[in-house]
Each structure stands twice: as structure tokens, then as C-alpha cells.
Homo-oligomer: A and B are copies of this chain.
């Protein structure tokens, strides 16, 4: 499920040194905390969690580090149209899309090979080179249908 923290730490260290950047205690802590999260978090939510561990940490550091983690391929930005970006671990090999409940926010990750293949077909048809894609299905979950 979750990334193995050691793996991502190595990945991040490698990315940083390639870019002539440094591993710092803050970046280590942010990565570790991010990987522990069970849900897709916003930078702000992650900041709130981090403050409990290290009250001196700053907003900007969280934002800057999440950007780095995204560039390193460790995190992935999700946009559900809420006004702020959410992040999930980016395990490229386990790509998936999202089914979000518009009432309670419950969030299911799914993967449908057929949809993936059809997407590639569309892209090819127009001569594009696929870089990324985002498929969000918005609905009402079984619980919310009852209430």
C-alpha cells in the first residue's frame, strides 16, 4: 500500500544530490510524515501535523518540499476542484484514478485497465504524446445515499 519509507528516503536523497540540493532534517521529517498519511493531504493539513512534531517548521518549507517531492516522482498532485491541491504518494507502478463522494469526501482509488488503454488510443488518434492524465469520478457513496 504505502511506500516503504526507506525506499522513498533513498529516492529523495538521490534526486536531491542529482540536483545539487541537500537532504535536511526538515525534508526528512516532511517526507516521513507525508508517507504516514492514510488520506490525500493538502499542504496545509500536512503542516498542521508537522507542527505537532516540530513547532518551528514553516509553511513555506512544507510547500517547497512537497514541490520537490512531486518533481522527484515521490508525491503526486491531485486536484478535486476544492481550491487547494492534495498530495498522494506517487507509486508510478500502481497508477490509479479517483472516485470521490461529493457529500462526505470519501475517496476510492481504482484502476481500470480498459479505460487506461482507451485513453492511450484517444491520445494516439490526435497525434499527442501522453504525459499524464487525471480521471476523477464524482458521485454519492452508498452511505450518503441513505442519509
A interface residue numbers (CB < 8 A to B): 77, 79, 81, 85, 99, 101-102, 108, 110, 112, 114-115, 118-119, 121-123, 126-142, 145
In the complex, A135 Cα to B79 Cα: how many Å? 12
Contacts of A130 in B (CB 8 A): 137-139
Task: Tell me if A136 and B134 are in contact (CB < 8 A).
Answer: yes
In the complex, A138 Cα to B33 Cα: how many Å? 29
Task: Tell me if B115 and A127 are in contact (CB < 8 A).
Answer: no
Contacts of A115 in B (CB 8 A): 115, 118-119, 122
Pick the residue among B110, B121, B128 that contacts A101 (CB under 8 A).
Answer: B128
In the complex, A64 Cα to B131 Cα: how many Å? 35
